[in-house]
Amino acid sequence: MNELQKEIVRLKAEKNAIILGHNYQRLEVQEVSDFLGDSYGLSVQASKTKADVIVFCGVDFMAESAKILNPEKVVLHPNLNSRCPMAGMVDAKSLRELKAEHPGAPVVSYVNTSAEVKAESDICCTSANAVKIVQSLPDRKVIFVPDTNLGLFVKRYVKNKELIFWPGYCPTHVAITKERLMAVKKEHPNAEILVHPECTPDVIDYADFAFSTEGIIKHVMGSPKKEFIIGTEENMIHRLKKEAPSKTYYAVPGATCPNMREISLENVRDSLTKAQFKIEIPEDIIRRAKIPLERMISAGR
Ligand code: 13P
Ligand code: SF4
């Protein structure tokens, strides 16, 4: 650990703080995190931590979810520029209009949404449990926001349902094209292709498997294969090298999420010393958004 990382570890203990880090964080930030995971795993950790302060190293909606689950705790987001563009593609007003067009249809919102959108939803999901959540609903017609590609992935497994989509997408994952994957595969023909369900349907068809980020790690750890093409944010490879160091990983050119990479060690240190930037959400929104988030957590992976 470098001096800055040691200072962060000391500050964490002094403030009784925990650092939750997403699998896409920079390596040096991953190294000071107490828990690394996908959106589902991080929500679970946030819901059960005994720490007084949560420093969330991930994009805005992840820090907001931690606050919704822990309204009494201080939740800090070290860099407010770390925002998920997909979460910004749907707002509460537009969702209310969509709901009015489909009376009675429940709303499943991907956790990549604002607190206000969650407050308008019946249940949340992550990429780790989207199929299970949609399947669990008794209704035939379901509104699914905002990621159309994740929705189309779900649709493969729930043929009996009518899904109403929203035109949202992840700029990072749509840039992982089939052509780019084919070029990497040509160089490494024995490598298995693993992608994220936010990828487009043709990419998912071409890949060997599609999983959430933590699902990719679990799959690699349990697989007899030795080489993998990682069709998601390249920083995932740090985690994979740590968990399964004897295997080889190939990134897809251009697979980066600049928003996830905004948070630096300096930001984390300043977050702890200056208690910045505190996530504040109106009480009424927290009360309503907590219901779909807690439903999602109790549904499991
Ligand atoms: P995971 O929940 O799979 O970690 O995905 C979060 C995300 O933002 C993917 O782009
Ligand atoms: Fe949002 Fe995509 Fe970045 Fe994930 S990878 S945080 S969905 S922009």
Question: pLDDT tens across 56-113, in order?
Answer: 999 999 999 999 999 999 999 999 999 999 999 999 999 999 999 999 999 999 999 9
The pLDDT of residue 218: 97
Own/partner contacts of 191-194, CB < 8 Å, gap of 24 or more, are: 191/225, 191/227, 191/228, 191/229, 191/248, 191/250, 192/223, 192/225, 192/227, 192/228, 192/229, 193/228, 193/229, 193/231, 194/219, 194/220, 194/228, 194/229, 194/230, 194/231, 194/232
**CA 83 and chain centroid, separation:** 12
At the top level of CATH, the class of 3-84+260-281 is alpha beta
- The residue ranges of every structural domain in the chain are 3-84+260-281, 87-170+288-299, 176-251
**Cα distances (Å, whole numbers) of residue 88 to 111, 143, 168, 242, 300:** 12, 18, 9, 32, 26
The pLDDT of residue 211: 98
- Which ligand 1 atom sits closest to the C-alpha of 213? 3
Residue nearest to atom 4 of ligand 1 (CA): 38
Mutate to test the pocket of ligand 1, among 43, 112, 172 (most ligand atoms within 8 A of CB): 112
CA nearest neighbour of 237 among 229, 56, 181: 229
- Token readout for 181 is 């994957």
Q: Is the CB of 59 under 6 A from ligand 2?
A: yes
**How much is the pTM?**
0.97
CATH 3.40.50.10800 fits 87-170+288-299, yes or no: yes
Residues (pLDDT < 70) of the chain are none
Q: Is the CB of 286 under 6 A from ligand 2?
A: no
> DSSP character for 253?
T
Mutate to test the pocket of ligand 1, among 22, 30, 147, 257 (most ligand atoms within 8 A of CB): 22
Residue 224: how many CB atoms within 10 A of its CB? 4
At the top level of CATH, the class of 176-251 is alpha beta
The pLDDT of residue 162: 98
The pLDDT of residue 27: 98
Asked if 87-170+288-299 and 176-251 have one fold, the answer is yes
The pLDDT of residue 294: 97
| Span from the CA of 191 to the centroid of ligand 1 (angstroms) | 22
